[in-house]
């Protein structure tokens, strides 16, 4: 499959930015989606190919509908959707506020669902396309102080595994990436600098995801789990 148009949510930093740079180097038109236009612009300056920026809140179905329609009109149908946008608030379950709970479920889970819903009709019309969901190992096992974050990511895992089955007889592929902590702004103010040193590099994770998402004869990879050494 020739990936001409790539849409990446949460593209303003971390893994989203790394994936944007790599797909840009591969010749794809990269659509950068996120809530912070200045961050998206900084990433765009580092891209080698064509790109477009869409200030979008993925937790809003209306905004997602408008953004995907704009992409289709301006650059063409989306060949690859990377659901990367995510938010984490870490504390004991009873300490999380109502806003914390809504934010994690709305962005991590609903955002993934809304974006996927918008690209599927076009992909089904063409009988081709790729959806990559960035899930995290929090979608594989429960963790202390990550109860609601894990709940949102377990939801994404269930959504991803169900999509694989729903689309089994089509030319559309769905791939879930489950990784541990990476060096990114996501952990600023949460982890110490010492702990940040031992986290994985987003560029390495991006390489692994791209390699596993590649179309290969007689096989398909539906998920990959990437863990820190320590």
The secondary structure of 2-41 as a DSSP string is ---EEEEETTTSHHHHHHHHHHHHTT-EEEEEES-HHHHH
| DSSP symbol at 131 | E
CA distance 183 to 93: 25
Q: Residue 112: give its domain's CATH number.
A: 3.40.50.720
Mean pLDDT of the chain: 92
Range of the domain at 113: 5-226
Q: Is 130 exposed, middle or buried (0-12, 13-18, 19+ CB in 10 A)?
A: buried
pLDDT digits 0-9 by tens, 156-200? 999 999 999 999 999 999 999 999 876 666 556 555 555 666 788
Q: What is the pTM of this model?
A: 0.93
Query: Which residues are catalytically annotated?
Result: 149
Task: Report the number of distinct structural domains present in the chain.
Answer: 1
The answer, yes or no, to whether residue 215 has pLDDT greater than 90, is: no
- Contact by Cβ (8 Å): 199, 187: yes
Mean pLDDT calculated for residue range 110-139: 97
- The per-residue pLDDT for 182 is 63
- Contact by Cβ (8 Å): 111, 133: no
pLDDT cut 90: percent of the chain above it:
82
- The per-residue pLDDT for 191 is 56
CA distance 196 to 219: 36
């Amino acid at each position: 499959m020739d990936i001409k148009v790539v849409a990446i949510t949460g593209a303003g930093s971390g893994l989203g930015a790394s994936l944007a740079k790599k797909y840009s180097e591969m010749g794809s038109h990269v659509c950068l989606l996120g809530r912070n236009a200045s961050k998206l612009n900084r990433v765009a300056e580092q891209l080698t190919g064509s790109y477009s920026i869409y200030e979008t809140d993925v937790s809003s179905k209306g905004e997602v509908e408008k953004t995907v329609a704009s992409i289709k009109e301006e650059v063409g149908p989306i060949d690859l959707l990377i659901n990367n946008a995510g938010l984490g608030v870490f504390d004991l379950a009873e300490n999380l506020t109502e806003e914390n709970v809504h934010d994690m479920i709305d962005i991590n889970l609903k955002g993934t669902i809304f974006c996927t819903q918008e690209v599927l009709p076009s992909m089904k019309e063409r009988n081709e396309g790729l959806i990559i969901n960035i899930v995290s190992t929090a979608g594989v096992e429960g963790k202390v102080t990550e109860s609601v974050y894990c709940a949102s990511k377990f939801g994404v895992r269930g959504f991803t595994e169900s999509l694989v089955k729903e689309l089994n007889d089509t030319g559309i592929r769905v791939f879930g990436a489950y990784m541990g902590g990476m060096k990114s702004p996501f952990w600023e103010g949460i982890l110490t600098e010492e702990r940040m040193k031992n986290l994985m590099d987003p560029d390495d994770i991006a390489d692994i995801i791209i390699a596993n998402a590649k179309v290969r004869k007689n096989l398909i990879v539906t998920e990959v789990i990437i863990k820190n050494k320590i």
